[in-house]
Amino acid sequence: MNRRGFIQNTAAAAALVGFSNIAFSSNLAEAKPSNSAKFKLKYAPGIGSFSELAGKDPVEVIKFCADQGFRAMFDNGLPGRSTADQDKIVAELTRQNMDMGPFVLYADFSKESMVLKDPAVREMLVKKVNEGVELFKRTGVKCALMVPGRYNERMAWDYQTANVIDIMRELSEIAEKGGLTIVLEPLNKRDHPGLFLTGIPQTYAICRAVNSPACKIVDDMYHQQITEGNIIPNIDAAWSEIAAFHIGDNPGRKEPGTGEINYLNAFKHISEKGYNGVLCMEHGNSINGKEGELALIEAYRKADNF
């Protein structure tokens, strides 16, 4: 269903598009207009976050999100879109004065890659970063997400760490010259067993060793809560190397307020530190359908009320 058709056929959605925020009755059956202010932080819905309310056309989704007060978007699959679609997305983001969060440049969870001294792997990764630089030059989307892949069960851990640092130094040099920033994402080993990069402290140490403005961290607070917790202290400890955030409550990886993470306090802390980057809403919804998408907006209004 496209955005125009939904507006014509649903009175609640007509009210929703007319105002930037929604106040809900207890059962979410009724929607009435409320505050139209932009969000304080740049929470970034995915292109598919509002398929029931806004449809699947990326341009219409961006318009809808801007109407609701969001100041950014993210699209992990941006590199795989056609040039025409990329251009349309960027043009609408520019028109709405919205930012775009990191796109996924390399994240193969099935292979050992950066932990190895393998010329073929090096060649592949260098090619990927060069492609990321070209995408940045054409679209202006600055952050490219990379995951170092699996660890090797036969090699000493410190050698693997050194190999990751060595290849990231080379990749970061290419990225920095091209204006791109690589953000490394640690992922929890409960959901993604066997990966090399699992924690914020580990990623911080690697970024400090690489010592490049083009090698930073994307702090996924869902993964961090599972792996090491202490979200605010770890944000402070790794602050110099954090370039982006991912959001998801735990357990369940749904919107803020559905799990144990106090996102109101976390967002307040991030805001007080002067962060002006993107926080990607990389999670599902706790409620299906249109009601779930309305609840998603309300959850961020509550978490942004600091």
Asked if residue 9 belongs to a domain, the reply is: no
How do residues 200-252 score in pLDDT, each as one tens digit? 999 999 999 999 999 999 999 999 999 999 999 999 999 999 999 999 999 99
pLDDT at position 121, please? 98
Residue 11 has pLDDT above 90, yes or no: no
Asked if residue 19 belongs to a domain, the reply is: no
Q: Which residue has the tokens 């809560």?
A: 225
pLDDT at position 31, please? 44
Q: Cα separation of 161 and 138, whole Å? A: 33
pLDDT at position 36, please? 62
Residue 25 has pLDDT above 50, yes or no: no
Q: Cα separation of 159 and 74, whole Å? A: 34
Predicted TM-score of the model (pTM): 0.88
Instruction: Indicate the SS3 state at residue 265.
Output: helix
Asked if residue 24 belongs to a domain, the reply is: no
Q: Which residues of 56-76 are buried (b: 16+ CB within 10 A; e: fewer)?
A: ebbbbbbbbbbbbbbbbbbbb
Asked if residue 141 belongs to a domain, the reply is: yes
pLDDT at position 33, please? 33
Q: Which residues of 17-44 are buried (b: 16+ CB within 10 A; e: fewer)?
A: bebbbbebeeebeebeeeeeebbbbbbb
Number of domains, the chain: 1
Q: What CATH number has the domain bearing residue 200?
A: 3.20.20.150
pLDDT at position 127, please? 98
| Sequence-separated (6 or more) residues with CB below 8 Å from residue 54 | 3, 6, 60, 61, 63, 64, 65
Asked if residue 29 belongs to a domain, the reply is: no
Share of the chain above pLDDT 90, in %: 88
Asked if residue 250 belongs to a domain, the reply is: yes
Residue 37 pLDDT grade (very low, low, confident, very high; cuts 50, 70, 90): confident
Asked if residue 31 belongs to a domain, the reply is: no
Half-sphere exposure of 67 (CA within 13 A, CB side): 20
How do residues 131-189 score in pLDDT, each as one tens digit? 999 999 999 999 999 999 999 999 999 999 999 999 999 999 999 999 999 999 999 99
pLDDT at position 2, please? 42
Asked if residue 215 belongs to a domain, the reply is: yes
Residue 12 has pLDDT above 60, yes or no: no
| Sequence-separated (6 or more) residues with CB below 8 Å from residue 176 | 212, 213, 214
pLDDT at position 14, please? 35
Q: Which residue segment(s) compose the domain that 61 sits in?
A: 38-303
Lowest mean pLDDT, pick from 9-18, 42-51, 101-110? 9-18
